[in-house]
């Protein structure tokens, strides 16, 4: 099993060393699994439970003061599931896996996604606020309590941030990709970005798999992870595929993002055009 994880592409983190330690733990946790879906789910769980990352606990706050989580998962046999706009769901990646394994759908949203997750024993009703996010929200002035258009007027100069978390796994036969996020800071209530969209925040195919992070609206418009895997299908290795995808993304959008990739030779690749993107790679060889 080989696993690569990322902790989001964006500005330089305040505490890169402890963040890197969590990423290393996530990659090692995933690599200890024997199934690729278990690998990406368990790796992302570690990151969703850490307030150092914008997923699960400590996620971004939307314009109405709520934290809503999104995630998507996909395997190389093109099975996929995603869940979005979920208040109180720490492990959004597990809700996405429920959609993949238990429903005939690929995306379930909002309170219905929360109910579905709870029905399959994914914990709901979790307090996702970190101390840092509580302080940041409390420092805001004149928070609106009105219509969506009033929220839009207020947030136009405040909306931002682009971090997500993700993992890609390969066991020599199959790939899986997973991405999870708390969204973007002060996005309009109910906003959903690239993360739960197939081919944007995550993608897997027989040639390899990818997870993306960055400016979600632009990632969705450019279908960044599908673009990266297409380069694998054209014969490029993981590093080349990641580089080419980010170069094309920057040219198309003028925005910033990052992507992690695994290919069928077991190579791991990553690329970003933001200030920083921390990653970690771990592998485990099965005993004979």
Question: Active-site residues: which are they?
Answer: 164
Evaluate whether 77 touches 188 at the Cβ level (below 8 Å).
Answer: no
Give the angle 116-92-132 at the CA atoms, nearest 5°: 130
Distance CA 258, CA 209 (A): 14
Q: In the beta sheet, which residues pair with residue 107? A: 82
Residue of 206, 193, 209, 198 lying closest to 242 (CA atoms): 209
Instruction: Say if residue 175 is exposed, middle or buried (CB neighbours under 10 Å; 0-12, 13-18, 19+).
Output: buried
**Beta strand residue intervals within the chain, DSSP E:** 2-10, 68-75, 80-87, 107-109, 165-170, 175-181, 202-205, 208-214, 257-263, 268-272, 276-283
Q: Alpha helix locations (H) across 148-267?
A: 148-155, 216-222, 224-233, 238-253
């Amino acid at each position: 099993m080989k696993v690569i994880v990322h902790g989001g592409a964006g500005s330089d983190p305040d505490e890169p060393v402890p963040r890197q330690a969590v990423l290393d733990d996530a990659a090692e946790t995933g690599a200890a699994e024997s199934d690729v879906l278990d690998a990406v789910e368990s790796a992302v769980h570690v990151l969703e439970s850490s307030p150092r990352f914008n997923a699960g606990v400590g996620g971004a706050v939307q314009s109405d003061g709520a934290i809503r989580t999104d995630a998507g998962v996909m395997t190389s046999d093109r099975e996929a599931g995603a869940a979005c706009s979920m208040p109180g769901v720490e492990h959004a990646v597990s809700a996405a896996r429920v959609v993949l394994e238990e429903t005939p759908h690929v995306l379930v949203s909002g309170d219905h996604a929360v109910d579905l997750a709870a029905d399959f024993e994914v914990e709901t009703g979790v307090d996702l606020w970190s101390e840092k996010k509580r302080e940041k929200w409390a420092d805001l002035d004149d928070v609106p309590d009105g219509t969506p258009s009033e929220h839009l007027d207020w947030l136009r100069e405040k909306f931002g941030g682009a971090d997500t978390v993700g993992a890609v796994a390969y066991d020599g036969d199959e790939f899986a990709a997973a991405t999870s996020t708390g969204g973007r800071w002060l996005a309009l209530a109910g906003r959903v970005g690239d993360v739960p969209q197939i081919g944007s925040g995550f993608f897997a195919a027989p040639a390899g798999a990818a997870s993306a992070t960055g400016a979600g609206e632009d990632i969705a418009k450019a279908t960044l992870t599908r673009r990266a895997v297409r380069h694998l299908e054209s014969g490029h290795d993981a590093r080349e595929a990641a580089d080419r995808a980010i170069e094309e993304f920057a040219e198309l959008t003028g925005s910033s993002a990052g992507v992690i990739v695994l290919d069928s030779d077991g190579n791991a690749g990553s690329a970003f055009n933001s200030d920083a993107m921390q990653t970690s790679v771990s592998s485990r060889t099965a005993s004979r």
